Amino acid sequence: MYQNSSKKRVIIVSNRLPVNVSRIEGSIKIKQSVGGLTTGVGALFKSMKNSIWIGWPGISSEKAGAAEADIVSELAKSKYKPVFLKKISIDNFYYGFCNRTIWPLFHYFARYTEYSERQFESFRRVNELFAEAVFSIADKNDVIWIHDYHLMLLPSLIRKKWPEASIGFFLHIPFPAYEIFRLLPQRREILKGILGADLIGFHTYDYVNHFLDSVRRILGLENRLGQLLVENRLIKIDSYPMGIDYDLFNNTAKKPVVKKEAGKIKKRLEGCKIILSIDRLDYTKGIPERLRCYELFMERYPEYREKVILIMIVVPSRVQLKYYQLMKSDIEKYVGKINGKYGTLKWVPIHYLYRSIPFNMLVALYNIADVALVTPLRDGMNLVAKEYIASKTDDTGVLICSETAGVSKEAGESLIVNPNDINDVADAIKNAFVMSEKDKKNAIDVMKRRLKRFDIYRWGSEFMNDLSEIKRYQSHMRAKQMTDLVKTQLIKRYSSSDTALLLLDYDGTLVQLKEKPDQASPDDELMTLLKDLISLKGNTVVVVSGRDRNTLEKWFGALNIQMIAEHGAFIKNDGIWEKDPRLDNSWKKEVLPLLEQYVDRTTGSFIEEKEFSLAWHYRMTDVKLGNIRARELKGALFNLAGNLGISAISGNKVVEIKYNFVNKGNASFRFIEKKRWDFIMAAGDDVTDEDLFSVLPDDSCSIKIGYDATKAVYRIGSYEGFRDFLKEMVESRKLQM
């Protein structure tokens, strides 16, 4: 059963409500609608307490007319809140941007994709309408779960008004590869819209990776293990393969009335094996292509004629769109052609139904079908495949499934085909019929157990629990965030101290990180700030850097400042540079050739040779390749490292190699132990600064710049924020003097 650890009220928001409202001769008719989202989320919704579902009821405002109020109160009985749309919005938003732009593009049908600014405008306006509906019914403490591609701007619209809201977003269709997604003129707005959520879910890891790839290339945001920092808010992106209500299908299949129905159909088709095909009418489902495969199967394996029947159910969908009407007539012509070509007086190869069928009949068909032919050209998940398996009570039957449907990732035991390879599919049909009963049973049994475990309730619980987890993590992060109150207290402590030690990392802490290290030289503002800090009585300022001593000397040599260079290989103490006596360069000749190989293999990367360390920089490489190579390089260095006493550490787009004993912590300790300081502060932005934080006495003030995990006690989002803090420190101390 569905379990939500947070116990908060859940507001489900999707384009369509799970019901379809119509007005026939003045009276309101409410009918269950058909579709994957309705079936899956619908089951979950029923099991949620206090939940509300916001969506369009399938009727235009014009048609609803004076009955709008009645519809609202009728739907309220089922906890549905309708959002009424005018006909023009339905045309431009639903039949326009949603179904002429996003749907084809996200399913890799770039050639069917239309681009219209007017339709996008309508998309934006309808998303705003949905936002208003959310604000009118929800409150900030509710969990808001937004579904699917129609509402991709909604997460950020809600976030803008309610910065702390708990927002989940789930995409039911594929998220395409970057090369496809980039074709969309509004790609930035769409990504930013989705990123308003705290948790973003997809059916498969492929879609997760495609999304993260697009975010990285289009918005320049780097993820860390599926987590992204968006305007100081940590969000999570993960895969949640949607399940079904397993027990509902399995138990329904065992009901006497369903068994009776199944028996009747079987009797009518006696002597024939049944192949089942069920889809909404859509070009992504590959219905004409499937017919072509069945035709080839008839041609190639004539022994099966009169022994097999294809039951093809096509459920009407998006009938207003011209293309769908054409597709319907093409399918019907093709069915007629095959039936005419192979049919006999006693037998028709295809039983074709263009309508939706009652649930019990659907389950009866799943139950008796020898083969389910699920060969969409592209499908986010495909629940039909899962429902077929769950409805098997005698554990026999074969699923043939497209590799381009999300479900194939969880149905490894089925016959997986390339839906464009008609030979492959025709042969798979034949193989399904010659498969041993034992193999069929084994395959069905394994898939059934998996579906039972990861059912729709587990899917909902996992998504909701991860959403509350990420909210908890966000508030933990905020706890470290330096508040105005903490700032005031720290500055007070600092300004009343007689001796203060300030240990400051350079790149990313005092200046912005740049593509090339030599571009990050100190600007006038920073030089003034450092001079001010040094001039204050009792202050000792140490720049703790991984940079070489010559660069640091060039920049800061004229100031009365202490310095740590190359992570501690050199220390400038009271004006004199000292070198750690244990250092030598014997290891470099072993490591340099390896680094050179990585430079050759990774365009844009380069080696920086410092006196006692080496750094491989990859900030200017293709991000994905750079990250992969950095991991490989660390692996390759691992074997050398143990023998040579060196270690490779990852910094910000750099891998640094140096002796183990050289680190910012050991070097800084020389300054810490010099005297009894009244106030110690250390600030840094990357992993090498964690060594520094770990040697600080307990009452020190440690500040992490940025949002990665840290040992530091406080956090400031950016180097600019940290400079402001330093300026305040200077001002307050000046006042004390």
**Which residues have a catalytic role annotated?**
505
- CB neighbour burial string for 699-728, b if at least 16 within 10 angstroms, e if fewer: ebbbbbbbbeebebbbbbbbbeebbebbeb
- Which member of 13, 278, 416, 637 binds ligand GDG (CB under 6 A)? 278
* Near ligand GDG by CB under 6 A: residue from 154, 212, 362, 615: 362
Q: Which of 35, 288, 522, 604 binds ligand GDG (CB under 6 A)?
A: 35
Give me the amino acid identity at 171: L
Q: Is 309 in the site for ligand GDG (CB under 6 A)?
A: no
513: left (phi over 0), alpha (psi -120 to 50) or beta: beta
Q: Which of 142, 198, 379, 566 binds ligand GDG (CB under 6 A)?
A: 379
The secondary structure element, H or E, covering residue 263 is helix 256-268
Contact between 40 and ligand GDG by CB under 6 A: the answer reads yes
Q: Which residues, at least 6 apart from 237, have a Cβ–Cβ distance to it below 8 Å?
A: 199, 200, 201, 202, 208, 211, 212, 223, 226, 227, 228
Minimum CB–partner distance for residue 366 and ligand GDG (Å) = 9
Task: From 18-26, 375-383, 566-574, 673-681, give the range in contact with ligand GDG by CB under 6 A.
Answer: 375-383
The sign one gets for the Cα dihedral 407, 409, 410, 411 is positive
Q: How far is the CB of 249 from ligand GDG (least distance, A)?
A: 9
Cα angle 141, 147, 153 (rounded to 5 degrees) comes to 80
Stretch that binds ligand GDG, among 378-386, 563-571, 604-612, 724-732 (CB under 6 A): 378-386
Q: Which of 674, 693, 675, 691 is nearest to 683 (CA)?
A: 693
Cβ proximity to ligand GDG: between 28 and 361 the closer is 361
Fill in the per-residue mask, 167 to 206: x = in contact with ligand GDG (CB under 6 A), - = not in contact. -----xx---------------------------------
The residue (of 363 and 530) whose beta carbon lies closer to ligand GDG is 363
Q: Which position among 133, 312, 384, 422 is part of the footprint of ligand GDG (CB under 6 A)?
A: 384
CB of 360 to ligand GDG, least distance (A): 9
3-state secondary structure of 352: strand
DSSP letter assigned to residue 512 = -
Closer to ligand GDG at the Cβ: 410 or 691?
410
Residue nearest to ligand GDG (CB): 36
Does position 357 interact with ligand GDG (CB under 6 A)? The reply is yes
Region class of 220: left (phi > 0), else alpha (psi between -120 and 50), else beta: left
Instruction: Please tell me whether residue 315 binds ligand GDG under the rule CB under 6 A.
Output: yes
Q: Are strands 52-56 and 27-32 parallel, antiparallel or unpaired?
A: unpaired
3-state secondary structure labels for all residues of 522-578: CCHHHHHHHHHHHHCCCEEEEEECCCCHHHHHHHHCCCCCEEEEHHHCEEEECCEEE
Site for ligand GDG contains 383 (CB under 6 A): yes
Q: Site for ligand GDG (CB under 6 A): which residue of 64, 381, 552, 703?
A: 381
CA distance linking residue 731 with residue 457, whole number of Å: 58
Residue choice 58, 168, 380, 397 for contact with ligand GDG (CB under 6 A): 380
Binds ligand GDG by CB under 6 A, chosen from 71, 242, 561, 571: 242
* Minimum distance of ligand GDG from residue 31's CB (angstroms): 11
> Of 316 and 412, which has the nearer Cβ to ligand GDG?
316
Q: Which of residues 386-405 bind ligand GDG (CB under 6 A)?
A: 387
Give me the DSSP letters along 125-179.
HHHHHHHHHHHHH--TTSEEEEESGGGTTHHHHHHHH-TT-EEEEE--SPPPPHH
Which part of the chain contacts ligand GDG (CB under 6 A), choosing from 29-37, 161-169, 568-576, 643-651? 29-37
The position carrying tokens 């037998």 is: 347
Please give the backbone phi and psi of residue 49, each rounded to the nearest 5 degrees, phi first.
-85, 145
Do the Cβ atoms of 265 and 362 come closer than 8 Å? Answer: no
CB 682 within 8 A of CB 703: yes
241 near ligand GDG, rule: CB under 6 A: no
Per-residue contact flags (x/-) with ligand GDG for residues 534 to 573, judged by CB under 6 A: ----------------------------------------
Closest to ligand GDG by CB, 376 vs 684, is: 376
- What residue ranges bind ligand GDG (CB under 6 A)? 34-37, 39-40, 172-173, 242, 278, 280, 313, 315, 356-357, 359, 362, 379-384, 387
